[in-house]
Amino acid sequence: MELEKEINPPHGGARAGAGRPKGTTNKLTAKDLLEECTKVVGKPFATALMEGYRDSILNADTKLRSVYEKIIIDKVATTMLDVEVEDNSDIVKNKLLAFEAALKSAININNNEDKDNATN
């Protein structure tokens, strides 16, 4: 009995019928998930989340409570994160001087390369 050698198709390239059908979306958005949660649970996600958190406290389920707290803190921390950047006149002046020095250095390097190429 002789074993037949299986021929492997080439890797990569286009395949007939491959890919998403036209008109379909490729993303499941957070909005879609929240709307579906509201339909299935019968109340907005935030309400269901807070009720679950309250129940974990009332049932003294410290493990579940910490999960809820992590979810809530992560959301609050990311939405309330506010970064304030201040540039006073000294900082702006130092940035301009550093940029000017870097620009002069780049011009000097370029000029030296041009001189080297002209002599060769």
Distance CA 87, CA 95 (A): 10
Stated pTM of the model: 0.45
- The pLDDT score that the predictor gives to residue 98 is 84
pLDDT of residue 114: 65
Contact indicator for 57, 65 with CB cutoff of 8 Å = yes
Enumerate residue ranges in the chain where pLDDT < 70. Answer: 1-10, 26, 80-85, 87, 110, 112-120
pLDDT in tens, 14-34: 777 777 777 777 678 888 888
